[in-house]
Amino acid sequence: MVNTSKIWVRFLVVFLFHILIKSFDLSFPGGPFALSFRSLTFSIYFIGYGLLLWYIAEWFDIKLHTWLKNPEGNRIKMIAITLFHTIFAFIFMVSVNYFYRLGDIYLFDNAFLWKDIPFLNPELTVSLTIIYLIIFGFDSYSQIRIKLQEGLLKTEQLEKESILAQYQALKAQIEPHFLFNSLSVLSSLVHEDADLSSDFIVKLSKSLRYIIEKNEFHLVKLSEELEFLNSYFFLIKTRLEDGVSLENRLDKSFVETTFIPPATLQLLVENAVNHNKYNPKNPLKIQIFKEDNFIVVKNNLNLREMVETSTRQGLKNIARRYDLISGLKIEISKTNTEFTVKIPTLNKTDYERFNI
């Protein structure tokens, strides 16, 4: 969609500078608003060329930032960008003077006006270059301010989403039916297997501690998330036994260098358990593996006949947090036999951006 307000602002700025330059040009004795064909041609030429320069400069600046890989905050890179823009502006201003000179000589037969003016016309080219750098500096400052405000807004939104995710994860642990089932399993284990009941209590404690301790972080190491998931799944496995299985096929080197929003995998596993039947003859099988630039969580489908109404808030929350953190999308697919969620891999740069 074309930003018309941006176009009009640029037109106004170029128009005002055109008036300024024209006012100091003695070849227009009637002033900048004199009505003549030469005066009108000059205005159209200067304004059109100025707007073209602005858009080319914007494209040039984007390429520079891409080439120098996000130079904001790096003094040397910012000096390099300013130097490139100075050279670019001077070359462009020389071309402005050159074509203006040619047009005035051949269209209006004004060669006599230019005979004592050097080819580079430093009065015009240098002043235009300075004007360009002033506008460039102001525009860059404005863009940095806008990005800073957007970053602060995203951080605030992310904090709200993170709190919601942690609340949902904590709520899943302390919901009455979950605690009832867990305590029921524990009560039977106490009499049957003291060692297993001790492990059960430890895993339950670890699950709750992870959620509380990681509440302030937007991203955590995938290795930490998997350790938490193992504790959480131990509780599920103890209760459902052979009715459910979890297979983790992620490489150790990958999990140590990858980051993820906390409780993401737990929410996905919980989603699979809550919506499917599980029994030893037809167990719920959950798999976690890497595929291209995604972490994939897949489970076979054996949906319950009576399922509690789902708001899909868990999946929506995961999708929203990924969008805020990286602009990347999660992928959800469903067939007659499988349900799959793909979450993008995030790296240390994403972690440092949101956690330091």
Outline where the chain has alpha helix (H). Answer: 4-23, 37-68, 75-108, 111-114, 122-174, 176-192, 194-213, 222-240, 252-257, 264-275, 313-326, 348-355
Taking the C-alpha atoms of residue 168 and residue 343, their distance in angstroms, rounded to an integer, is 19
Range with the lowest mean pLDDT among 44-58, 95-109, 188-202, 298-312? 298-312
Q: What is the mean pLDDT of residues 194-198?
A: 80
Question: Tell me, what's the pLDDT at 169?
Answer: 65
- β-bridge partners, 247: 287
Question: How confident is the model over 85-116, as pLDDT tens digits?
Answer: 888 889 888 888 888 888 888 888 888 888 88
Q: What is the mean pLDDT of residues 219-247?
A: 90
Confidence of residue 194 (pLDDT cuts 50, 70, 90): confident
Q: Is residue 61 a contact partner of residue 85, using CB atoms and an 8 Å limit?
A: yes
Q: What is the mean pLDDT of residues 171-197?
A: 67
- Assign 284 to helix, strand or coil: strand
Q: Please state the pTM of the whole predicted model.
A: 0.54
Taking the C-alpha atoms of residue 119 and residue 95, their distance in angstroms, rounded to an integer, is 11
Q: What value does the mean pLDDT of the chain take?
A: 82
Angle at 188 between CA 187 and CA 189, to 5 degrees: 90
Range with the lowest mean pLDDT among 38-42, 70-74, 255-259, 326-330? 70-74
Question: How confident is the model over 256-269, as pLDDT tens digits?
Answer: 999 998 888 988 99
Question: How confident is the model over 207-221, as pLDDT tens digits?
Answer: 878 877 876 677 889
Question: Tell me, what's the pLDDT at 341?
Answer: 96
Question: Tell me, what's the pLDDT at 175?
Answer: 53
Question: How confident is the model over 14-67, as pLDDT tens digits?
Answer: 888 888 888 888 788 777 787 888 888 888 988 898 888 888 888 888 888 788
Question: Tell me, what's the pLDDT at 254?
Answer: 94
Question: Tell me, what's the pLDDT at 356?
Answer: 47
DSSP 73: T
Question: Tell me, what's the pLDDT at 174?
Answer: 46
Question: Tell me, what's the pLDDT at 179?
Answer: 62
With tokens 């509780």, the residue in question is 235
182, pLDDT greater than 80? no
- Assign 341 to helix, strand or coil: strand
Taking the C-alpha atoms of residue 154 and residue 151, their distance in angstroms, rounded to an integer, is 5
Question: Tell me, what's the pLDDT at 70?
Answer: 67
**What is the percent of the chain with per-residue pLDDT over 70, rounded to a whole number?**
88
Confidence of residue 72 (pLDDT cuts 50, 70, 90): low
Question: Tell me, what's the pLDDT at 164?
Answer: 63
Domains of the chain: 4-150 (no CATH), 175-355 (3.30.565.10)
Question: Tell me, what's the pLDDT at 206?
Answer: 81
Question: Tell me, what's the pLDDT at 197?
Answer: 81
As given in the structure block, the two tokens for residue 321 are 């947090």
Question: Tell me, what's the pLDDT at 136?
Answer: 80
- Assign 225 to helix, strand or coil: helix
- Assign 279 to helix, strand or coil: strand
- β-bridge partners, 289: 296
- β-bridge partners, 276: 303
Q: Is residue 177 a contact partner of residue 171, using CB atoms and an 8 Å limit?
A: no
Q: 6 or 175: whose pLDDT is higher?
A: 6
Q: Is residue 255 a contact partner of residue 290, using CB atoms and an 8 Å limit?
A: no
Question: How confident is the model over 144-180, as pLDDT tens digits?
Answer: 777 777 777 777 777 767 766 765 665 555 455 556 6
Burial group, residue 15, by CB count within 10 angstroms (0-12, 13-18, 19+): middle
DSSP 310: P
